[in-house]
Amino acid sequence: MYIINDYPLAVFFCFITMLCWGSWANTQKLAEGNWRFELFYWDYVLGIVLLSLVFGLTLGSIGEGGRPFLEDLSQAELSSYWNALAGGVVFNLANILIVAAISVSGMAVAFPVGIGLALVLGVLINFISEQKGDPILLFLGVALVTVAIVLDAKAYKNNSKDKAKNVSKGIKLALIGGVLMSFFYFLVQQSMSLNFQSPDLGKFTPYSAVFVFALGILLSNFLFNTILMKKPVDGDPVSYKDYFAGNFKVHLVGVLGGAIWCIGMAFSIIASEQAGPAISYGLGQGATMVAAFWGVFVWKEFKGASTSTQTMLKSMFACFIVGIIIIIYAGI
């Protein structure tokens, strides 16, 4: 299988993760209109599963290091399967809860609470599991990225004309979602061998871990997203009949969104041996600022914003850039 052998390349892969995790939501914007998020989300999940399988059968099955994808799946212990599947279930529930929090209370409340909490706790949990990198620099960088997320949320709040419908409910959903989101990467890491070149028996290598993780998302979606379809946070209920009524183009857009997210997940896991799980996860969660970049410069969401809001945006990007540099330097 394909393996990264040096830290600079691992950092590059983490940047690809950041770009992918911060960009996949653009496909949701492209599918907006009469196509509800709950319906889009099914195609998004299918995209994750399909691309994880493609990665396994291609990059996961070439080269002399590690184990081939199918052989790796056949030799793994049940505990490895449970950890990777649990990672998928936890991620899926966290993702849906944070989206629900945004729908209920707005981005200004949900983002700093949910994503900020997931970033800080996730880096802490993954660093404890494998202490790789300078902890002072790592958490200083994470703190600056967290400040950037808070500034991003404040800028959205200042620029928004809508008032939050239910701040208290949104905070509760974001808190639960943020805590859960901080654990999914750790669970996937627990299913894997720390040595990709000569992996431990019974443990997964990166490609099989990501595929089983994706299956966890798909299986849990039959429960979580079905509930969300029947009892949506916002709008009328939707059915599977509505899903199958969608045209090929709108389904393809959702699959593309999932494929983009899966590229990020796979690259982050592949990079984690050299960069360490904490740095891989921390850099990946900088995706929030990539999403903000799309909002500011492509979708023009802050066109005509006040001077104070523009200042917040500049400060946000400054904190983000410095924070990312420090996180990278923590692994050198």
What's the pLDDT tens digit per position in 85-94? Answer: 999 999 999 9
Cα distances from 64 to residues 2, 58, 197, 264, in angstroms, run 8, 13, 9, 24
Task: Report pLDDT for 171.
Answer: 86
Phi/psi class of residue 309: alpha, beta or left (left: φ > 0; alpha: ψ in -120 to 50)?
A: alpha
- Quote the percentage of the chain above a pLDDT of 90: 77
Task: Report pLDDT for 168.
Answer: 81
User: What mean pLDDT comes out for the span 266-292?
Assistant: 94
- Residue 296's contacts (CB-CB under 8 Å, 6 or more residues apart) are 302, 313
Whether the CB-CB separation of 34 and 164 falls below 8 Å is answered with no
User: What mean pLDDT comes out for the span 305-329?
Assistant: 94
Of 96-105, 116-125, 169-178, give the lowest mean pLDDT range: 96-105
Confidence of residue 81 (pLDDT cuts 50, 70, 90): very high
Task: Report pLDDT for 308.
Answer: 93
Task: Report pLDDT for 214.
Answer: 98
Q: What is the pLDDT of residues 183-203, one digit of tens each?
A: 999 999 999 999 999 999 999
Task: Report pLDDT for 160.
Answer: 77
Q: What is the pLDDT of residues 203-256, one digit of tens each?
A: 999 999 999 999 999 999 999 999 999 998 878 999 999 999 999 999 999 999
Q: Report d(CA 316, CA 289) in Å as an integer.
A: 8
Task: Report pLDDT for 16.
Answer: 97
Whether the CB-CB separation of 248 and 123 falls below 8 Å is answered with no
Of 6-10, 29-33, 299-303, give the lowest mean pLDDT range: 29-33
In a 3-state reduction of DSSP, which class is residue 245?
A: coil
Q: Report d(CA 154, CA 202) in Å as an integer.
A: 47
Whether the CB-CB separation of 245 and 36 falls below 8 Å is answered with no
Angle at 266 between CA 260 and CA 269, to 5 degrees: 145
User: What mean pLDDT comes out for the span 64-92?
Assistant: 97
Q: Evaluate if residue 163 carries a pLDDT over 60.
A: no
What does pTM read for this prediction? 0.94
Q: Where are the alpha helices (DSSP H) in 3-77?
A: 7-23, 25-31, 37-57, 69-75
Q: Report d(CA 130, CA 185) in Å as an integer.
A: 12
- Residue 127's contacts (CB-CB under 8 Å, 6 or more residues apart) are 133, 135, 138, 276, 277, 278
In a 13 Å sphere around the CA of 231, the CA atoms on its Cβ side amount to 3
Q: Evaluate if residue 162 carries a pLDDT over 70.
A: no
Confidence of residue 49 (pLDDT cuts 50, 70, 90): very high
